[in-house]
Every structure is written in C-alpha cells, then in structure tokens.
Amino acid sequence: MTARLLDSCRQTLSGWTAPTAGQDRLRRRYLDHLDDHPDGWSRSCPGAHLTASSLICADDGQVLLTLHRKIGRWLQTGGHLEASDASIMEAAVREASEESGLDGLDLDHDPLLLSEHEVPCGIVRPTFHLDVQFLIHSGPAATPVVGAESVAVQWFRHDQLPEVDDSVTALVQRAAARLGW
C-alpha cells in the first residue's frame, strides 16, 4: 500500500500546474524530497514529510476552519498521511471528515497550493510539513462537529475571516478565485 501512496504523491505533484514560480519551486522541492526519501510521505521520515490538507468550501461562499488545539490558530483541516491511505487525495478527505465531522465531501483533485512550514513534531529539529492543500466542496454549509484535535470548528464567509496567518489567507483567496467568488 505504501508504494501506491508514494506513487499517488508523485503523480499528483507531477501533474499539477503551479499558479506561480514560487509554487513551482515548492512542487519540485516536494518531488525531489520524494525521490531522495521513499518514505517522504510518512511522519517517520526525519526532517520533513508530506501532509494533506483541505479547505472545505460551501456553495454560499463560506469556508470551514478549525481552531487547532495545539497550535491555537484557525486553520484548514488536514494532517499526516497514513500507510492505510490509498492516495494523498484520500488522506485529505479522511482528515477533512475526521476534523469536521462532515460526510459526503467532494474533493477537487487538482491541488490549490503547497505550503512548507516548520512544525514541532518529529525526532529531528527542525521538522517541516510539506503540505499539499486541496479544495473540498461540501454543498450547503452543514453543521460541523468538533473533533479531538480542535477547540472549535466554524464556518466563515470567505471575505470575513477570523485572525488567520498568511498561508490560510492565501489558501482562501486561491479557493475563491477557483470558485469564482
């Protein structure tokens, strides 16, 4: 199963047309990482590993954010890839469902953005998440459920966000452009 997951990561990144030169540099960095580390998708890979996250968007222009328990910031849903995941896209949907309590989510297979950021996990410092960020359509804004990793999960209008960092702002702007909001 893990070779299939590695292939999925490579195919997703190889087939993606990055929106900017900076995003294309990240795409190539992720692919180089996977070439150098066949376990580069796994949290056990020292120093860096791929993660899958998703911005859940409702038809009416709302986005679902989670107030992360450990980090204390509003973020999109997402997390680590698991050996049982058949693809990076499956990991993104699994994480979105686990963190939002929503079912019937529809993932857009073309990533929105990539985001590399340092995280306080792993046995090697620094450790980086090489995040592949997707768009998920939820239809009408359904009532989310707070999961174990969150303090709150809430819908926000895409143009009326709570205090978020630049990476979340960029992700929401990219989703809004793709959805024509």
Segment 42-64, tens digit of pLDDT = 999 989 999 999 999 999 999 99
How does pLDDT run across 6-30, given as a tens digit for each residue? 999 999 999 999 999 999 999 999 9
Contacts 24+ apart (CB under 8 A), 13-18: 13/132, 16/110, 16/111, 18/114
User: Model confidence at 1, in pLDDT bands (50, 70, 90)?
Assistant: low
Between CA 18 and CA 135, with CA 165 as vertex, the angle to 5 degrees is 45
**What confidence tens digit (pLDDT) does each residue in 57-112 have?**
999 999 999 998 888 899 999 999 999 999 999 999 999 999 999 999 999 999 99
Domain ranges for the chain, please list them: 2-179
Task: Quickly state the pLDDT bin for 38 (edges 50, 70, 90).
Answer: very high
Compute the CA torsion angle 106, 113, 167, 117 (nearest 10 deg).
Answer: 110
Residue 103 makes CB contacts below 8 A (sequence gap 6+) with 97
> C-alpha distances in angstroms, 34 versus 3, 20, 54, 61, 74?
11, 21, 21, 35, 29
74: left (phi over 0), alpha (psi -120 to 50) or beta: beta
Q: What is the pLDDT, as a whole number, of residue 139? A: 80
pTM for this one?
0.95
Residue 123 has pLDDT above 80, yes or no: no
Q: Torsions phi, psi of 94, nearest 5?
A: -60, -50
pLDDT for residue 62: 97
pLDDT of residue 141: 79
| Contact between residue 147 and residue 99 where contact means Cβ atoms under 8 Å apart | yes
| Distance between CA atoms of residues 49 and 40, nearest Å | 5
pLDDT at residue 119 greater than cutoff 90: no
- 2-179 classified as CATH 3.90.79.10: yes
Residues 133-174 pLDDT 10s: 999 998 887 899 998 888 999 999 999 999 999 999 999 999
